[in-house]
């Protein structure tokens, strides 16, 4: 018979591994182990077969019930393929911060908290402010003054 503490330690370990490997599965196995350890401690279950059955059932049930709801918290969201150009069109005229000095016309800028590859005909330095004038794919073209067209 497995001691309750082993199940509880296993459950905590599995839940903590979710912080490193965000597969969103280990946490449900951890919940199953914690419930199994708790029921074993309370002497509701005793035999190894019932322990494994409880662990499996609770893990699977919690996975089926909660995974879809919790996945967005761990994974986040993405822009749909057809929304990509709309997002970059909205970036036109936006102010950006130069993150790396431009060398041979290329550098990096920060727009809405995300760094982007950027190009400019001007010598922009790290810390400067620039404006998005147009884009080619996911590469932004910036200038030191907003486009007044």
Instruction: Report the chain's mean pLDDT, rounded to a whole number.
Output: 82
Share of the chain above pLDDT 70, in %: 80
Domain 82-143, CATH homologous superfamily name and number: Nucleic acid-binding proteins (2.40.50.140)
Q: What is the pLDDT of residue 58?
A: 94
Residue with tokens 């929304």: 83
- In terms of average pLDDT, the best of 2-6, 8-12, 48-52, 66-70 is 48-52
Q: What is the pLDDT of residue 127?
A: 93
Domain spans, the chain:
4-75, 82-143
The three-state secondary structure class of 26 is: helix
130 pLDDT above the threshold of 70: yes
| Max CA separation in the chain (angstroms) | 78
- What are 81-103's pLDDT values in tens digits? 544 455 556 677 888 999 999 98
- What are 19-44's pLDDT values in tens digits? 777 667 788 889 999 999 999 999 99
**pTM (2 d.p.):** 0.46
Burial class (CB in 10 A: 0-12, 13-18, 19+), 103: exposed
């Amino acid at each position: 018979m497995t001691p309750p503490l082993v199940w509880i330690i296993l459950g905590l370990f599995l839940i903590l591994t979710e912080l490193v490997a965000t597969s969103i599965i280990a946490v449900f196995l951890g919940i199953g182990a914690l419930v199994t350890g708790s029921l074993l401690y309370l002497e509701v279950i005793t035999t190894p077969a019932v322990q494994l059955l409880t662990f499996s059932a609770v893990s699977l049930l919690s996975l089926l019930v909660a995974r879809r709801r919790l996945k967005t918290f761990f994974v986040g969201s993405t822009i749909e393929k057809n929304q990509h150009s709309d997002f970059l069109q909205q970036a036109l005229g936006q102010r950006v911060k130069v993150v790396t000095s431009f060398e041979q016309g290329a550098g990096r800028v920060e727009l809405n908290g995300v760094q982007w590859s950027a190009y400019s005909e001007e010598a922009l330095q790290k810390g400067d402010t620039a404006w998005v004038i147009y884009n080619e794919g996911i590469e932004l073209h910036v200038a030191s003054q907003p486009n007044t067209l």
